[in-house]
Homo-oligomer: A and B are copies of this chain.
Amino acid sequence: MLVYGADGFKMARISTREQILQEADQLFYEGGFEGTSFADIAAAVGISRGNFYYHFKTKDEILDGVISRRMEATRAMLDAWAAENDSPAERIVSFIRILIDNRTKIMDFGCPVGTLSSELAKLDHAAQERAADIFGLFRDWLAGQFRALGQEERADELALHLLGRSQGVAVMATAFRDESFVRSEVDALEARVQALCLAPSNHQPEEN
């Protein structure tokens, strides 16, 4: 699907395949995997359902592509956070802040990673593990930052803990549509990182 600009010249454009993945990504997030049909995606892209089959033979193939896309986007985001911040504490805060930045969508649809993982688990879908691998990217990256903070022993534990905390915030934000809860939890998490920074003992007190 090539698009021509006003001047009549061909414009560099994303491929139809990429457009499909883009729309599917969003639809899967906002409506769920099962809740999104071939027709929904085709309509969103603006192509016929037949054309669809040329690019993806099954719905699972689209899911696979969407997960790959999300992994790539996640890697890019983590790299950007690493580049933008000099200290590991600031980097971890960047992670925590996605709860604030995406609060509106989170209150409407939850966390894209967590909800997909949960849905695929229920469907007993083979791609559940790949979906969980996105969590793995965050986990490893966060563990690296905690290690840089001097938490050698507990780096992975802290990473898992923080991931879980943010998932809990997302679920509750969706259930109660409560923005203030998101903010207070984010504040608590940020304070915790700062405290870890100042007193990297083994048993770190936390403000609640």
Task: Give the interface of A toward B (CB within 8 A).
Answer: 30-32, 34-35, 108-110, 114-115, 117-119, 121-123, 131-132, 135, 157-158, 160-161, 163-169, 171-172, 174-176, 178, 181, 184-185, 188, 192, 203-208
Q: Does the CB pair B208–A208 fall under 8 Å?
A: no
CA of A108 to CA of B125, assembled, Å: 11
Q: Does the CB pair A35–B122 fall under 8 Å?
A: yes
**What is the minimal beta-carbon distance from A49 to any residue of chain B, in angstroms?**
21
Q: Does the CB pair B171–A169 fall under 8 Å?
A: no
How many copies the complex holds: the figure is: 2
CA of A68 to CA of B207, assembled, Å: 37
- Which of A163, A164, A188, A206 gathers most chain B CB within 10 Å? A164
Q: Does the CB pair B169–A164 fall under 8 Å?
A: yes
- Residues of B close to A132: CB separation below 8 A: 175-176
Q: Is the interface of A mostly helix, strand, loop or mixed?
A: helix
Across the interface, A175 reaches (CB within 8 A) one of B114, B123, B168, namely: B114
Q: Does the CB pair A114–B185 fall under 8 Å?
A: no
- Residues of B close to A172: CB separation below 8 A: 135, 160, 163-164, 167
17 pairs of residues in contact across A and B, judged by CB atoms under 8 Å: A32-B34, A32-B122, A35-B122, A109-B121, A110-B118, A118-B118, A132-B175, A135-B175, A135-B176, A158-B208, A160-B178, A160-B181, A161-B208, A164-B169, A165-B165, A166-B168, A206-B208
Look across to chain B and name the residue whose beta carbon is closest to the beta carbon of A109.
Answer: B122
Sort A-B residue pairs by CB-CB distance and give the 3 closest, nearest first: A168-B168, A205-B205, A164-B168
**What is the minimal beta-carbon distance from A160 to any residue of chain B, in angstroms?**
6
- Residues of B close to A207: CB separation below 8 A: 203
